[in-house]
Chains A and B, each alone.
Chain A
Amino acid sequence: MRKKKIIFNIFVYTFLCIAAIFCLLPLWMALVNSFKTNGEMLTNVMSWPSRLRFENYVRTFDKMNYMRSLFNTIFLSTLSVSVMVVFSALAGWKLCRTKTKLSSFILALFIFSMLIPFSSIMIPLYKLVLILKIKNSLIGLSFIYAGMGVSMAIFLYHGFVKSIPIELEEAAAIDGCNAFQTFFYVVFPMLKPITVTIVITNILWIWNDFLLPLIIISDNKKYTLLLSTNTLFGQYSSDWTAILSALILAALPVIVFYSIFQKNILKGISDGALKG
């Protein structure tokens, strides 16, 4: 019996290790080869770099306007998520606390749209952006993200508010708080666990979203990290070592973010999905 358990464990660990290597292979290969010259890379992709050359990084750092693209991406995702969180917490809370026909109708309206695929609204949305004159506007884009993300966030807030006691809000009202004060001082702090989940899932979505910025942003001063990486890929078609350094640079912020907030991210992901 014990022997069987050991053999089983060896099998499981071997399998998991192979799967782990597979997961990390592209990142590892990109990292190793980004320190090589093209000649060195072509001789042996697997070899260790002869010495750490940062030439590729220096070149692509400037070429993709790294700092500006990074700043744009941070700005875009922070603003979008802030707008989304405030708007949907306000709506989600009130929708849950109001029991009228209108409130059920509005909630249904929000939930219904989760079925609409993005590619179905992409072109009319582009037209709308032209009409509103917000093409190339990161602020405009933030509000678009907020508009597309509120339904899920409201759904989550609505579910969460159900689980918190209404007595606290009533007490606040008796103490003379108006509805807005009750919301900001009493309700919103209690929503923190679900807010963390919503912030994490949406930051990751917006940070990694490509198609929407691709059609809305054409001015390279407003490029997000992904857009500059994509453009650079087109320009450096066969200069693989340079491209790989750009890919590493583009992936770096997320990897740093992941290593710091790993626990919250993994918890947020499963909570967001299982409660949703």
Chain B
Amino acid sequence: MKKLNPNVSLMLFAAPALIVYGLFKLLPAVLGLFYSTTDWNGLNKTYNFIGVSNFIEIIGDQYFWNSVLFTLKYVIVMVIVANVIALFLATMIESINRGKGLFRTVFYMPNMISMIIGGYMWMFIVTKVLYYMADNWGLTFLDQSWIGDPRYAFIAIIVVASWGSVGYLMIIYMAALQGVPTSLKEAAYLDGASGWQTFWAVILPMIRHAVTICVFWTLNSSFQVFDVIYSLTGGGPGRATQSTALNIYEEAFKGNIRYGYATAKSTVLFVIVLIITIIQLRIMSKKEQEA
């Protein structure tokens, strides 16, 4: 029997994956570059090449830049808040003897539920239940316009988004914490280190890999935030809590149906995400090398 050339048999096995991947991921990415230079919309059958006009229009598009700023703000807050809470919960659960499994199960539960469903459930909480708590339990600080006031709407979004993602991060941190040898903690204890010192100087460096993964994951998913905002505030009041993904979605599929212009916006978003990812990978790999 003649042996096949390794590259030929490789292509044979990789072809199905390459085809679906090329067709539904790479091709749209390339087509996007092309459509962003056209005036393609949902109303006319034909479209024209208009060069960089879309990108020039984006420079002056106040709503788009507001949505980019909002998304950046959201990403930064989420990366910090979600990771700190998740690491804190993971450390707490790892420190107890009974009920570990139960707490882990409960804390992960919200991650199973779509943020569309979760967002609507929370809408009920913030529009009905919190007022009840404020009126009857004297928790007057809860008596806010959680959806109607941009400042509180931002807080509400962060709370609900954390509710829906902390469990995932916590599971990863727990797995990493279990990998820290007890002998190290005992050695630190015998050397007279406080719990806090042990955490900073012994445990944190040991779970650096998990921190990198979690920060990267939060960063990536937060940049694309859509569901929680769609269901909770719909981007409102006005456009105060509109994320970039929501802005692009509305430009393309609501009202204007300006596909070409919306595609140009999504190209800008891609460039921003790419730059930030490269910076992040640089910083993280440097830190891991130092360690």
Contact = CB atoms under 8 A, between A and B. Distances in A.
B140 interface: no
Interface stretch (B29-37, B52-60, B76-84): B29-37
B236 interface: no
Nearest to A176: B1
Interface string B208-226: 0110011001001001101
Interface residues on A, range: 35 or more
Interface stretch (A53-61, A64-72, A254-262): A254-262
Interface stretch (A162-170, A189-197, A242-250): A242-250
A30 B124 contact: yes
Contacts of B117: 226, 229, 247, 250-251
A interface secondary structure, majority: helix
Given A119-B249, A124-B29, A95 B14 contact: yes
A223 B129 CA distance: 31
B109 A258 contact: yes
B32 A150 contact: no
A86 B16 CA distance: 9
Contacts of A243: 120, 124
B197 interface: no
A29 B128 CA distance: 10
Interface string A86-110: 1110110111001010110010011
A257 B108 CA distance: 13
A91 B175 contact: no
A203 B230 CA distance: 22
Interface in B1-51: 6-7, 9-11, 13-14, 16-18, 20-29, 31-32, 35
Contacts of A126: 252, 259
B17 A90 contact: yes
A171 interface: no
A46 B227 CA distance: 27
B235 interface: no
A139 interface: no
Contact of A23 (B11, B110, B270): B110
B113 A251 contact: yes
A217 interface: no
Contacts of A251: 113, 117
B10 A12 contact: no
Contacts of B231: 230
B132 interface: yes
Contacts of A128: 23-24, 27-28, 31
Given A16-B96, A100-B6, A151 B176 contact: no
B70 interface: no
Given A119-B226, A124-B31, A255-B112, A45 B132 contact: yes
B28 A125 contact: yes
Given A247-B117, A270-B171, A210 B227 contact: yes
B278 to A, nearest CB: 9
B20 A87 contact: yes
B187 interface: no
A127 B35 contact: yes
Interface residues of B, number: 89
A226 B116 contact: yes
Contacts of A6: none
Contacts of A93: 13
A113 interface: yes
Contacts of B10: 94-95, 98, 100, 102-103, 106
Given A113-B26, A266-B108, A269-B171, A123 B259 contact: yes
Nearest to B35: A124
Contacts of B154: none
A117 B132 CA distance: 40
A80 to B, nearest CB: 10
A103 B16 CA distance: 15
A87 B269 contact: no
Interface string B151-165: 000000000000100
B253 interface: yes
Contacts of B285: none
A16 B92 contact: yes
Nearest to B277: A115
The 9 closest A-B pairs by CB, nearest first: A147-B24, A94-B13, A147-B20, A26-B121, A208-B114, A121-B28, A124-B28, A124-B31, A91-B17
Interface of A: 9, 12-13, 15-16, 19-20, 22-27, 29-30, 33, 41, 44-46, 83, 86-88, 90-91, 93-95, 98, 100, 102-103, 106, 109-110, 113, 115-128, 143-144, 146-148, 150-151, 154, 179, 183, 204, 207-208, 210-211, 215, 226, 229-230, 233, 240, 243-244, 247, 250-251, 254-255, 257-258, 262, 265-266, 269-270, 273-274, 276
Given A118-B224, A211-B227, 11 more contacts: A87-B20, A93-B13, A94-B13, A98-B7, A116-B29, A117-B245, A119-B266, A119-B269, A127-B259, A258-B112, A266-B104
21 contacts: A13-B96, A13-B99, A20-B103, A20-B107, A26-B110, A27-B109, A87-B20, A90-B16, A94-B9, A100-B6, A106-B18, A117-B273, A120-B266, A123-B35, A123-B262, A123-B263, A204-B112, A208-B114, A262-B105, A269-B171, A270-B172
